Amino acid sequence: MGVSYRWVIVALGALMSCVAIGAMFSLAIFQEPIATATGWSHVGIASAMTLNFIVMGFGGFLWVAASDRFGPRVVVLIGSVLLGLALVLASRAETLLQFQLTYGILVGLAASTFFAPMIAATTAWFDENRGLAVSLVSAGMGVAPMTISPFARWLISAYEWRPAMLIIGIATWVLLVPAALLVRQRASAETADAGTEFAAEGARPQLSKVFRSPQFIVLGLTFFACCAAHSGPIFHMVNYATICGVAPMAAVSIYSVEGLAGLGGRLLYGSLADRIGVKPVLVASLLVQAGALATYLLVSELTEFYALAIVFGSAYGGVMPLYAVLAREYFGQRIIGTVLGAATMLSSLGMAFGPLIGGWIFDTFANYSWLFIGSAIVGLGAAAIALAFPPLARQKPQPVFGMAP
C-alpha cells in the first residue's frame, strides 16, 4: 500500500469526525422543535448532550485501548453501526427518559469511537507533516456545522423532528460504514520518540508517571477548562440568536459561520504556532475565545452575530489541534493514543457542563446572560492554566505545518 494512502486516512478521519460530531451537535438544532412538539424542558433535552460528553469522555479512553489491540478499523466500524442505530432509536423515543438514554448515552458512546482512535492512527502514518495531518482530521469537526446542521434544519422544516432524526441516522450508516471499511493501520509504524522525556531507550513509558507529570496535568486541565468555556455557548447559540429576533434558518447559519471560521482558525493558529511556538499561540487563542464569549452579551443583530462568530469560531476551532500536537511532542507516538484519550476524556467532561448549565439558566432566568458571563470567566481560567505548560524537551520542536523536503 503506497505512502499516499496516508492522505486517504486523513480524508476518512475528517469525514468520520464531521458526520459523528455533526450528528451529535445537531441536537442544538433539534432542541427547540423537540421542546415545542413534546413539551419536554430545555434542561431535560440539553441533559442528553451532557450525557453525550460524559459517555464520550470515558468511552473514548476505552475505545483507544480497543483500537491499540484490535486496530482502528474494528473500532470505527462498530461506532458507525452504533451511531446510526442510536439516532434511529432516539427518533422513536416517546418519553424524555428514553430520549436521554438513546441520544445521550448511545450517541455519545458511538461518537467516541472516531476522534482519538483516528487521530492516533493518523499520527502513526505521518513522519512528516504530522501537525498538518492532525489539523485536517480535526477540521472535520469544523465542517460539521456547515453541513449536518443546515441539513438537519431543512429536514425539520420539511418533515418535523422525528423523521428528520431518522433520516440523519440512516444517512450516517450510508456514509460511515463504507468509510470505516477503508481504514487501514500502518504496516510497520516506526516511531521516533527519543527526543521526548517519556521515551527512554525505546521502552514504553510508564503511564503512572505520564499521568502524574506536570505536562499531562496542565494539558488535561487546560483542555477541560477550554471546553467547559465554549460548550454551552456553542450548543445554545442557535436558540440565543432566535430569542434575539434572528430567523431560525439564519440562526443556524451563524452556527455554520462558526464552523467555517474554525477551518480558517486551524490554518491561522497552526501557522502562528509554527512560527512562534505552540504555547503562546494556545494562550492567545484562549484569551480571544474568552473575550468573544463576553462580547456575545452585546450583540443582537444578525450581522453582529456573523462578525463575532468569525472571531469565536476561529479561536475555539484553531485551538483544538494544538492539544494533539502538544501531546505528541511531550509524550511521543507510542502512547499518544492513550494520552490523547485521557485528555479527551477530561475535555469531554468539560463539554458536559455547558449544555446542562445553559439549559438550566434559560429555564430559570429566560435568558442566557449568565451563561456567557460564566463561560468567559472559565475561558480566562483556561488561559491562566495554559501559562503553566513546561517547556518542551525537544531542542527543535516538530513544526505544526512542516513541509516534507
Compute the distance between CA of residue 60 and CA of residue 345 in angstroms, rounded to an integer: 7
pLDDT, tens digit, for every residue of 306-350?
999 999 988 888 888 788 778 877 887 677 777 877 888 888 788
Structural domain including 250 reads 5-184+204-386
In a domain, 107, yes or no: yes
Report the candidate in 219, 227, 289 with the shortest Cα–Cα distance to residue 261.
289
> Which CATH number does the domain housing residue 216 bear?
1.20.1250.20
* Whole-number CA gyration radius for the chain: 20
Query: Given this model, what pLDDT does residue 201 score?
Result: 44
Query: Given this model, what pLDDT does residue 401 score?
Result: 39
Asked if 258 and 146 touch (Cβ cutoff 8 Å), the reply is no
Query: Given this model, what pLDDT does residue 189 score?
Result: 46
pLDDT, tens digit, for every residue of 276-307?
778 888 999 999 999 999 999 998 889 999 99
Query: Given this model, what pLDDT does residue 224 score?
Result: 93
Query: Given this model, what pLDDT does residue 397 score?
Result: 43
In a domain, 119, yes or no: yes
Query: Given this model, what pLDDT does residue 400 score?
Result: 42
Compute the distance between CA of residue 100 and CA of residue 382 in angstroms, rounded to an integer: 30
In a domain, 256, yes or no: yes
Q: Cβ atoms within 10 A of the Cβ of 91, count? A: 21
Give the count of domains, the chain.
1
Asked if 133 and 121 touch (Cβ cutoff 8 Å), the reply is no
Question: What is the phi/psi pair of residue 216, to 5°?
Answer: -70, -40
What grid cell was written down for 181?
471499511
What grid cell was written down for 98?
428514553
Asked if 330 and 197 touch (Cβ cutoff 8 Å), the reply is yes
In a domain, 287, yes or no: yes
In a domain, 234, yes or no: yes
What grid cell was written down for 396?
527543535
In a domain, 302, yes or no: yes
- The whole-model pTM stands at 0.70
Query: Given this model, what pLDDT does residue 404 score?
Result: 35
Q: Is the dihedral of CA 71, 77, 82, 87 positive or negative?
A: positive
In a domain, 394, yes or no: no
- Residue 77: half-sphere exposure toward Cβ, Cα within 13 Å: 12
Query: Given this model, what pLDDT does residue 393 score?
Result: 58
Query: Given this model, what pLDDT does residue 198 score?
Result: 60
Query: Given this model, what pLDDT does residue 2 score?
Result: 47
Each residue's pLDDT tens digit in the chain (405 positions)?
Answer: 445 888 888 889 989 988 988 888 888 889 889 999 998 888 888 888 888 888 887 887 788 778 877 888 999 999 999 999 999 999 999 999 999 999 989 998 998 888 778 887 887 777 666 666 777 787 777 777 778 888 888 999 889 999 999 999 999 999 999 999 999 877 654 444 544 566 554 555 677 788 888 889 999 999 999 999 998 898 888 889 988 888 878 888 887 788 788 878 877 877 777 777 788 889 999 999 999 999 999 988 899 999 999 999 888 888 887 887 788 778 876 777 778 778 888 887 888 788 888 888 888 888 889 999 999 999 999 999 999 988 765 444 444 433 333
In a domain, 398, yes or no: no
Question: What is the phi/psi pair of residue 112, to 5°?
Answer: -75, -10
Question: What is the phi/psi pair of residue 199, to 5°?
Answer: -125, 95
Query: Given this model, what pLDDT does residue 288 score?
Result: 94
Query: Given this model, what pLDDT does residue 196 score?
Result: 55
Compute the distance between CA of residue 215 and CA of residue 213 in angstroms, rounded to an integer: 5
